[in-house]
Structures are given as structure tokens and as C-alpha cells.
Amino acid sequence: MTTKKGYGKFIRLIWIAFGGVVLGVASIFGAASLGLLGPMPDFRQLENPKTNLATQIISADDTVLGKFYFNDNRTPISFHEIPAEMIDALIATEDERFYSHSGIDFRGAARALFYLGKKGGASTITQQLARQLFVGVRSQNIVAAITQKIKEWVIAVRLERRYTKNEIITMYLNIYDFNYSADGLRSASSIYFSKKPIELDLSESAMLVGMLKNSSLYNPLRRPEMVRDRRNIVYQQMLRNNLITEKQRDSLAALPITLDFNPQSHREGIATYFRGYLQQFMREWIASNPKEDGTFYNLYLDGLSIYTTIDSRLQTYAEDAVAAHMPNLQKEFFRQNAPEFNETAPFLDVDKDEVEAIMNQAKRRSERWRKMKAQGHDEETILASFEKPLEMEVFSWSGDIDTIMTPTDSILYYKHFLRSGMMSMEPQTGHVKAWVGGINFRHFQFDHVMQGKRQIGSTFKPFVYASAIDQLKVSPCDSLPDGYYCVEPAKFGAHDAWCPKNSGDRYIGKRTLKNALANSVNTISARLIDKVGTRPVVNLVRNLGVSSFIPNVPAIALGSADLSVYEMVGAYSSFANKGIYVKPVVVTRIEDKNGTVIFQTAPKTKDVLSEESAYVTLKLLEGVTASGSGVRLRHRGADKANPIFRDVVTGYPYEFDNPIAGKTGTTQNQSDGWFIGMVPNLATGVWVGGEDRSIHFETIAYGQGATMALPIWANYMKACYADSTLVISKDAFEAPEYVSIPLDCDSLSVSRQEKSFFEDEDLSDLGF
């Protein structure tokens, strides 16, 4: 009896102890659920877990150009975008019973407890998600670590009640940090393999799944062998779960780790200058477009999608064209202007005092000056810092160079480099298709598409001709005296007459307007603006979208105004769009993280010229590339070997045979070279020059727009035409139904060709 009583008492004690443990565990989990062990997410947080999402910049051809983010380069994907093989690998490696448990794998927990974690942990995918979303990094303190684990279990169960298994997998892969700003699967697949997630093969999927254990430790760039071993463990787990065969496991395990590493940062990748402009565009848009609750969108955290007009193919071809031409042009510039590095190179025709003034201005605009000034340093201290040698990385066309030089010398070094700006636009829609603001965004961040404004030279002349065509109905076949000519000072409120000269002081007596524009004859432009008046020309250019200051003086006829590539391409596009100006568009719509459209562009247009006047201007501009300053775009049979039809720098002919309307521009002392070229559905402008006007070629052969800028346009268009996925027109410009102005000069009577359209023109001053 005693034995039985003792045994019964022992059994009761066991049950009491067991009940106590169960009650204790229940109490602990209850306390955790009530938030007594620390803050717990409420149901709203569980329904909408807070994660930082990068803003995507999406091209017109559905390519991600880049992202805006602070620390988290994360863009969510949906379940159907995840490869099925990756899901198999994930579950086999991280949570074999994922589809059968409710957030906690008790078998796995018991195994981990019995073997003290030596045969794997017990965290399910749902628990790992809970830790990343709400709990945080595991504490080193044992009590705190246990508390965290308990909270993970409670949150995991809650997550399982609110989300499907597929949603949990998707959330987990969206939130994981794979290093190198690869936040989430979309960024990781792009950065490590230059692919979309759905395009990943099993080897690539297995590598990323292996990294889930510890992405810092299993880093494929620093420890490829370790990553390979970890990837092969993933294969072993897939074999264990009958997802692959042993033969597949062996062949896959023999493969090396192969990456196509494509780091994503604000200063690397495609369309960097455009992204810099877009950042400012978005800041202004956000400031003017609050949410419904009155708060403002965060460009770096709210996961917006910005749909742009940029075409990634055209953008790539534009960047390639700049990168192909500029090193060759730079080499020639070094040969002529800066054979050795000294205190005055690369400046020409500038005395030492002016060089010093230029350098001091550059120092005051530098980031070094800004930072030291903000720190409270006086000017003497700041200036002295520019003379202390430092280790630095500087740009070269052969790759970045590690060197030691003073900041002053680095400024002088960078001034040796010619810069470039380029924009391409669809005239009918205003959609900007390519935007190249410079030669290298990491080292030269000033944008020469929008920010940079330089003298435009002869590229302004078509506006003068268009004004004369629109007002006076002149024909390209009409002729004017080509002789020394002065505009009287009383006509523009000056003390002295304005008397421009032709290039090389060359005058031939009489020219048609077609010949005069093709050869950029200054005296003809002077006569035209004298007859039309400066104010109508300025008004025309204003209506064509130019907002920069244009002086009301006749010298504007030769391009004395400073305008941007952005303004010039927008204005020229109106000629190809039947006289209708369309304001350039860079963003078509913006969506929030849920895909709701929060902005959609509305084109802004203005009728500026008659369709006939625009078409006649185009025909004049076609003459520039057929027989004028842009003729090297062409070749004509036996003339193919003639140097005039070849690129001066490379020696290669371009051989375009389709209609092209264009205009070169060269400013005083060859400081700026321009070319703007158009086909019916694409207008593109290019500028090339130094950072300062005192940096220029010594001779016109290399300093003219036809040498500095035209080759970039030519290389770009050749690449565009070679791409069969693009539809870039080779057709003639569409003519109006009725054109009253004569265009076919060969069919006109001799009397019309010889007659000046200025009936009162005195030809006695031609100087023959």
C-alpha cells in the first residue's frame, strides 16, 4: 500500500510539474502576446508591415534605369515573379515542413533543443520573417535572446493567420538583405546576375538561397569557395526532398559560381545625369503634391514607380556615342593644347592673372570649399588646404588613376577635359528619349543638358530664317547680296553699327538662302535680321520654349545668346512637328507602392509657326547636311574618298543617305561646338566644349561643330538605325498639302533666282 501510495504521489507530482510547465509556458506566451515582454505589433502593423522601399525609375521600354533610396534598395516582387526552383530550394533548405506547420515547427524545435542546435536551428521561414520585420537582430544576452525567441513564435503564429504561405515566402524574399545594396530578391538578382528574378536558373537561385543563412559570411565576391560549398548544401537538401536527382546534384555541384556583378548606386549605371535631373524634378513635384492626409511622399522610402520617357536602348547608344568620340577628340586636344601639365595649360589666349581668377572661382565652387566653409573655417585656411598633397582617385579615359596631388592641381587637371551634353527627343510627343549630361557622372556631375548654357553660334540662324519665311514668305531659292554689311546703331539703341564678317573674310557676291544657311554665311543672317527685326526673332524663340535671356540685339543672329541643349532640342523639334512646339516631357506617370497612379502627364503644346513655314525651314536645314557644313554625314560615289566626307578624328565615313535636317554651330575662338540633327521622329542636339570658354582648340579644323559635336550625333544615329527593335524614320519629312513657297531651285526661272526679294536692295556695296 505504501509503495502504491508513494507511486501515486509521484505520478501526481509529475502531472503537477507538467501542468506547471504548460501553465508557465502559456503564461509566458500570453504575457508576450499582451506586450508584457516588450512592444508587439498590433493587427494594423501585421497587415501593413513597415519596410523601406526604393523608388524605381522605369524606362519607356520597361527597363529599370535606377533607383532612389537611402539605405534600403528594395523593390517588392509578387509570388509569380519568383522562379519555382528557387521556392523549392528555399523550402528544402530553410523549412522542410513549411506548408504543414502554422508558424512553429515543433519537430524542428525539439531536434534543435535535443542536439543543442548542432543539427540545425528551429526557426521557420515565418519566424525568420517575424524577426526581420518586428524583432530585430538576435541579442547576445541569453535572457533577452530567449525573450526575442518567444516573441518571434507569437508573431509567427499571427502572421500565419493573416497571410497565405505564398505571401509569407514573397515577403521573406522581398525583405532580406543580400549585401551591396541588394535589398530583396529583385535587387539581388539584378546586382549579382543582371537579371530579373524570374530569369534566374537553378544555380543562381541556389546561391541566393544559400546566402540566406548569413549574407555577410557567404559573400560571393569575397568568399566564392565558401559560397559554392553553401550552394551545394542547398542542392543536397533538394536531393533529400526528392526535388532533384543525384545525377543533377553532382552536375550542378561541379559548376563554378558565375556572377554578372552590376552594383547599383546613384553615381553608376545608365542615365546617371538624367537621374540627377529627375531627383530634382521629383523633389519639386513632391513639395507640390501632398498625400490625402497632408503628409508628403518620401522619394527614398515610399516605393514609388516613376515611368519615364527615356528609352534604355537609345540612352545606351547615346552614352556609347559620347564615350566613343570624346577620348579621340580629347587626345587631339591634348596634342595641340596641353602637351605637358603646367600652371597655364589648357587655357589659350589667357594671361596669368586671368588664369588665377578662373582657378579661384573654381575653388570657391568646389565641394571642399563648401564643406570647410560650413565647418567655420576662414578663407585663408581653406585656400591653404588646396595646396596640401592628398591621395586621390582621378578620371582618365583609360580608367581611374590613383595618385597624389594637391586639390589645386586636381582642379587644373580636370579643366583639361572637354565636356559634352546630348539630348534626343520625339518631336510629336515631346518625349525625351536620351539624356547624356556629361562624360562621367562620378567625376563631372555638372549637367550640360539642363544646367549648362553656352553660346550657340550658328545653330541660332534657323530661327532668323524661320522668322523671315513666316513673315516675308521668302524662298530658299531667293538670293541676297553676300558682301560686307552693317546694321545701323539706331535700330538697336547702340552707339556703333554692327558689322559682322564672314568666316575667313570671304564674300562671293550673291547667295541663295539655301546656300547661305548651308554654309553659315554671317552677312546674310545680318541682312535677314535687319529686315525682320530682332523683336520678332526673340518672340519666336520664346514661343519655341526658350526661357533663357536673349538680348534684343542683332548679334543674336550669329548665336551670341547662351542657351541649353534642352532648350535647343525642344525648339528645333517644332520644325519637325509642323510648327507646333511641344514642351519636353520626361515623366509620363508616377505610381505609389500599391500601383495607384498619383500623377499623369498632360502634354503642353503651342502653335508657333505655320505648317508651311516649318516645312520650308526644314528644307533649308536639309541643305546643311546635303552640301553645307554638315556634309560629312554623306558620301557621293567617287567623293566617298574625299576627306570632307570623313570624320576628322577617326577618318571613317558616315554614309547616311536618308533626309536629315541639321545645323552645325561654332562659337568665337572655337570654344563651343554644336550639332542639332533631325529625322521625322527624332531630334537630337549635341554640344561639346571646355568647362571655361578660355579652353578651346586653336584651329577651326578641330574646333568647329562639325568636328566636335557632329560625330557624336552620327555614331548615335548609326547605332539606332542598326537596331531592328527601334523604329527610327528614314523617310522624308511630311510636306503640307499645299506649299506656296518655291522649293525646287533648279526648276525656277533664271529671273527668279537672280532677283533679290529685297526690291530696294542696293548692290553697289559688294566691294568687287
Domain termination residue (choose one: 241, 263, 285): 263
3-state secondary structure of 94: helix
Q: Is residue 752 part of a domain?
A: yes
What is the grid cell recorded at 332?
587631339
What pLDDT was estimated at residue 355?
80
Out of 449-458, 472-481, 752-761, least confident range: 752-761
What pLDDT was estimated at residue 109?
62
Q: Is the pLDDT of residue 762 over 70?
A: no
Query: ∠ CA 42-46-51 to the nearest 5 degrees?
Result: 115
Distance, in Å, from the CA atom of 502 to the CA atom of 484, rounded to the nearest integer, reads 8
Q: Is the pLDDT of residue 346 over 70?
A: no
What pLDDT was estimated at residue 348?
64
Out of 337-346, 406-415, 499-508, least confident range: 337-346
Q: Are residues 226 and 114 in the same domain?
A: yes
Least Cα distance to 77 among 89, 64, 88 occurs for 64
**Cβ atoms of residues 500 and 558 within 8 Å:** yes
Q: Are residues 364 and 219 in the same domain?
A: no
Tell me, what CATH number does 100's domain have? 1.10.3810.10
Q: Are residues 91 and 199 in the same domain?
A: yes
Distance, in Å, from the CA atom of 186 to the CA atom of 303, rounded to the nearest integer, reads 13
SS3 content of the chain, % helix, strand, coil (to 5): 45, 10, 40
3-state secondary structure of 481: strand
Residue 385 neighbours by CB under 8 Å, 6+ apart: 368, 372, 377, 407
Instruction: Using a pLDDT cut of 90, give the percent of the chain over it.
Output: 57
Q: Are residues 126 and 186 in the same domain?
A: yes
605-607 and 597-600: which strand pairing? unpaired
Q: What is the mean pLDDT of residues 531-544?
A: 95
Q: Are residues 132 and 217 in the same domain?
A: yes
Residue 483 exposure: Cα atoms within 13 Å on the Cβ side = 11
Distance, in Å, from the CA atom of 346 to the CA atom of 690, rounded to the nearest integer, reads 9
Distance, in Å, from the CA atom of 618 to the CA atom of 469, rounded to the nearest integer, reads 11
Distance, in Å, from the CA atom of 437 to the CA atom of 422, rounded to the nearest integer, reads 6
Q: In what side-by-side order are the strands of the sheet with 419-425?
A: 432-436, 419-425, 682-689, 672-679, 661-666
What pLDDT was estimated at residue 751?
44
Instruction: Using a pLDDT cut of 70, give the percent of the chain over it.
Output: 82
Q: Is the pLDDT of residue 706 over 80?
A: yes
Q: Is residue 684 part of a domain?
A: no
**Cβ atoms of residues 210 and 234 within 8 Å:** yes
What is the grid cell recorded at 20?
506547471
Which string of b and e fits 39-52 if b means at least 16 CB within 10 Å?
Answer: ebbeeeebeebebb
The amino acid present at 203, given as its one-letter code, is: S
What pLDDT was estimated at residue 695?
85
Distance, in Å, from the CA atom of 333 to the CA atom of 606, rounded to the nearest integer, reads 42
Check residues 33 and 387 and name the one with the higher pLDDT: 387
Q: Are residues 381 and 519 in the same domain?
A: no
What pLDDT was estimated at residue 746?
74
Q: Are residues 108 and 209 in the same domain?
A: yes
**Cβ atoms of residues 608 and 536 within 8 Å:** no
Residue recorded with cell 526581420: 132
Check residues 343 and 102 and name the one with the higher pLDDT: 102
Confidence of residue 597 (pLDDT cuts 50, 70, 90): very high
Query: ∠ CA 41-43-49 to the nearest 5 degrees?
Result: 60
Least Cα distance to 411 among 362, 468, 458, 371 occurs for 362
Confidence of residue 15 (pLDDT cuts 50, 70, 90): low
3-state secondary structure of 664: strand
Q: What is the mean pLDDT of residues 44-63?
A: 76
Domain termination residue (choose one: 383, 408, 433): 408
Looking at mean pLDDT, say which of 1-5, 321-325, 360-364 comes out highest. 321-325
Would you state the torsion angle of the CA atoms of residues 392, 395, 398, 404, taken in this order, to the nearest 10 degrees? -20
Domain termination residue (choose one: 263, 284, 318): 263
Task: Classify residue 754 by its DSSP letter.
Answer: H
> pLDDT by residue (tens digit) across 282-338?
999 999 999 989 999 999 889 999 999 999 999 999 999 999 999 999 988 888 776
Q: Are residues 31 and 80 in the same domain?
A: no
Q: Is residue 513 part of a domain?
A: yes
Query: ∠ CA 135-137-140 to the nearest 5 degrees?
Result: 115
What pLDDT was estimated at residue 755?
47
| Mean pLDDT of the residues in the chain | 85
Query: How many structural domains are present in the chain?
Result: 4
Range 622-625 contact pairs with CB under 8 angstroms and sequence separation of 24 or more: 622/659, 622/660, 622/661, 622/733, 623/476, 623/514, 623/515, 623/517, 623/518, 624/517, 624/518, 624/661, 624/662, 624/663, 624/664, 625/656, 625/660, 625/661, 625/662, 625/677
What pLDDT was estimated at residue 531?
93
Distance, in Å, from the CA atom of 276 to the CA atom of 612, rounded to the nearest integer, reads 39
Does residue 500 have a cis peptide bond before it, meaning omega lies within 30 degrees of 0?
A: no
Domain that includes residue 203, residue range: 74-263
What is the grid cell recorded at 617?
525651314
Check residues 743 and 141 and name the one with the higher pLDDT: 743
Q: Is the pLDDT of residue 71 over 90?
A: no
Check residues 35 and 14 and name the one with the higher pLDDT: 14
Chain mean position to CA 254:
40
Q: What is the mean pLDDT of residues 135-149?
A: 61
What pLDDT was estimated at residue 665?
95
Q: Is residue 52 part of a domain?
A: no
What pLDDT was estimated at residue 122?
62
The residues with which 689 forms a beta bridge, in sequence order, are 419, 672
Confidence of residue 23 (pLDDT cuts 50, 70, 90): low
Q: What is the mean pLDDT of residues 233-249?
A: 95
What pLDDT was estimated at residue 758?
46
Q: Are residues 168 and 78 in the same domain?
A: yes
Distance, in Å, from the CA atom of 517 to the CA atom of 585, rounded to the nearest integer, reads 30
The residues with which 422 forms a beta bridge, in sequence order, are 436, 686
What is the phi/psi pair of residue 597, to 5°?
-70, 120
The pTM of this model reads: 0.78
Range 189-195 contact pairs with CB under 8 angstroms and sequence separation of 24 or more: 190/64, 190/262, 190/264, 191/261, 191/262, 191/263, 191/264, 192/220, 192/259, 192/260, 192/261, 192/262, 193/259, 193/260, 194/260, 194/262, 195/260
Chain mean position to CA 113:
53
Q: What is the mean pLDDT of residues 465-476?
A: 94
Distance, in Å, from the CA atom of 355 to the CA atom of 361, rounded to the nearest integer, reads 10
What is the grid cell recorded at 223?
568568399
What is the grid cell recorded at 83?
522562379
Q: Is residue 252 part of a domain?
A: yes
Q: What is the mean pLDDT of residues 581-591?
A: 97
Looking at mean pLDDT, say which of 142-151, 341-350, 528-537 comes out highest. 528-537
Q: What is the mean pLDDT of residues 595-602?
A: 95
What pLDDT was estimated at residue 457?
94
Distance, in Å, from the CA atom of 460 to the CA atom of 525, rounded to the nearest integer, reads 10
What pLDDT was estimated at residue 505?
83
Q: Is residue 635 part of a domain?
A: no
**Cβ atoms of residues 503 and 434 within 8 Å:** no
Q: Is residue 586 part of a domain?
A: no
Which helix (H) or strand (E) element contains residue 679?
strand 672-679
3-state secondary structure of 421: strand
**Cβ atoms of residues 276 and 445 within 8 Å:** yes
**Cβ atoms of residues 353 and 361 within 8 Å:** no
**Cβ atoms of residues 586 and 310 within 8 Å:** yes
The residues with which 675 forms a beta bridge, in sequence order, are 664, 686
Q: What is the mean pLDDT of residues 733-742?
A: 93
Distance, in Å, from the CA atom of 308 to the CA atom of 434, rounded to the nearest integer, reads 11
What pLDDT was estimated at residue 766?
30
The residues with which 236 forms a beta bridge, in sequence order, are none
Q: Are residues 241 and 379 in the same domain?
A: no
Distance, in Å, from the CA atom of 601 to the CA atom of 188, rounded to the nearest integer, reads 32
What pLDDT was estimated at residue 36?
46
Least Cα distance to 664 among 709, 715, 718 occurs for 709
What pLDDT was estimated at residue 753?
46
What pLDDT was estimated at residue 324?
92
3-state secondary structure of 203: helix
Out of 23-27, 98-102, 426-430, least confident range: 23-27
55-58 and 305-308: which strand pairing? parallel
Q: Are residues 221 and 94 in the same domain?
A: yes
**Cβ atoms of residues 681 and 720 within 8 Å:** no
Longest dimension (CA), the chain: 147
Tell me, what CATH number does 499's domain have? 3.40.710.10
Q: Is the pLDDT of residue 720 over 90?
A: yes
Q: Are residues 193 and 259 in the same domain?
A: yes
DSSP 213-224: T-TTTS-TTT-H
Q: Is residue 242 part of a domain?
A: yes
